[in-house]
């Protein structure tokens, strides 16, 4: 009997497709919790790094890592418009990205204020605080905004004074490696450390300039070196930092934190 019929060939092809799709979809379903756990751990790692913990301190067992995070980092939820710290809301229940897209939980940003080019922003957002001996040592703010090709997501860490930049690191973006991608270069990240985020009037002032900041520039404390060949990405970073520090972003919450710390 002839076995090479069209029906049999198609039957085998369909059977292989069905078997493979079952394998792939089961893997996706079973691996989802693991992927989510890894993402959460990654986010915690970014936050601890923004708080000033070194790779060495973070390369520990999962239990020690979780303990370190829980002991060191306090996560608060703030209402951006008022700067109010919300109680009765579990930070884990909040998905910042989803809320920013939900029309009931977000607001449209007027064009002239939309420096980060994100169109809408969530009404409430998480911020993270790292305290030492009861005093706030780092205020870690999740920030994002448009570069040349992509939305860049990262953490901006301020000192307890709410003005001095301690670090800026992006964990997700799609800028060109070697050009805009140099925002990940440790040398560029280092130029942000110690810069002053606000001027004397309390306006976000930070500026990514073209070229290198001159030591004798009267504005040197607000200025950061540009990345050559990536002026657009650099400008995007400048604008998103300014946006999130201003009144549409964490400005009101930072005012409240400064007042609270001063009253202590």
Ligand X SMILES: Cc1cc2nc3c(=O)[nH]c(=O)nc-3n(C[C@H](O)[C@H](O)[C@H](O)COP(=O)(O)O)c2cc1C
Residue 143 CB, nearest approach to ligand X (Å): 18
Q: How many residues are listed for the chain in this entry?
A: 264
Q: Is residue 170 part of the contact set for ligand X (CB under 6 A)?
A: no
**Cβ–Cβ < 8 Å for 142, 91:** no
- Cβ closer to ligand X: 147 or 252? 147
Using CB under 6 A as the binding rule, whether residue 117 contacts ligand X is answered as: no
Angle formed by the axes of helices 6-50 and 62-72, to 10°? 50
Residue of 75, 123, 176, 221 that binds ligand X (CB under 6 A):
176
Distances (CA, A) of 54 to 48, 49, 58, 154, 168: 8, 6, 6, 17, 15
Q: Total residues contacting ligand X (rule CB under 6 A)? A: 12
Residue from 232, 256, 258, 261 in contact with ligand X (CB under 6 A): 232
Q: Which residues sit opposite 152 in a β-bridge? A: 145
Distance in angstroms (rounded) separating the CA atoms of residues 254 and 246: 10
> Least distance from C-beta 149 to ligand X, angstroms?
6
User: Which 8-state DSSP code applies to residue 29?
Assistant: H
Contact window for ligand X (CB under 6 A) among 21-29, 30-38, 39-47, 223-231: 223-231
Burial class (CB in 10 A: 0-12, 13-18, 19+), 38: exposed
**For ligand X, the closer CB: 78 or 206:** 206
Q: Is 151 in the site for ligand X (CB under 6 A)?
A: no
Rounded least distance, CB 148 to ligand X, Å: 4
Q: Residue 173 or residue 195: which is nearer to ligand X going by CB?
A: 173
Among 145, 160, 180, 249, binds ligand X (CB under 6 A): 180
- Write the DSSP string, 66-124: HHHHHHHEEEEEEETTT-PEESS--GGG--HHHHHH-TTTEEEPPGGG-TT--SEEESE
Rounded Cα distance between 261 and 254, Å, is 10
User: Applying CB under 6 A, does 194 fall inside the site for ligand X?
Assistant: no
Is residue 239 a contact residue for ligand X (CB under 6 A)?
no
Contact positions with ligand X (CB under 6 A) in 26-85: none
Among 47, 80, 157, 175, binds ligand X (CB under 6 A): 175
Residues that bind ligand X (CB under 6 A): 148-149, 175-176, 179-180, 228-233
């Amino acid at each position: 009997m002839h076995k090479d019929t069209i029906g049999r060939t198609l039957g085998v092809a369909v059977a292989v497709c069905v078997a493979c799709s079952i394998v792939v979809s089961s893997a996706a379903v079973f691996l989802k919790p693991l992927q989510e756990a890894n993402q959460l751990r990654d986010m915690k790692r970014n936050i601890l790094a923004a708080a000033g913990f070194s790779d060495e301190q973070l390369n520990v067992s999962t239990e020690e890592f979780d303990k370190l995070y829980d002991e060191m980092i306090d996560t608060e939820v703030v209402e951006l418009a008022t700067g109010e710290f919300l109680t009765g809301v579990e930070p884990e229940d909040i998905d910042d990205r989803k809320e920013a897209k939900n029309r009931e939980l977000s607001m449209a940003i007027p064009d002239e204020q939309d420096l980060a080019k994100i169109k809408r922003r969530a009404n409430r957002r998480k911020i993270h605080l790292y305290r030492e001996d009861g005093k706030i040592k780092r205020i870690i703010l999740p920030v994002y905004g448009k570069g040349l090709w992509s939305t860049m997501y990262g953490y901006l860490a301020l000192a307890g004074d709410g003005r001095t930049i301690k670090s800026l690191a992006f964990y997700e973006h799609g800028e060109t490696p070697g050009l805009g991608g140099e925002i990940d270069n440790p040398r560029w990240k280092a130029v942000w450390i110690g810069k002053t985020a606000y001027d004397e009037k309390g306006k976000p002032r930070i500026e990514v300039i073209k070229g290198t900041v001159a030591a004798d520039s009267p504005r040197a404390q607000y200025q950061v070196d540009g990345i050559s060949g990536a002026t657009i990405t650099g400008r995007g970073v400048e604008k998103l930092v300014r946006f999130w520090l201003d009144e549409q972003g964490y400005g009101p919450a930072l005012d409240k934190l400064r007042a609270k710390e001063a009253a202590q």
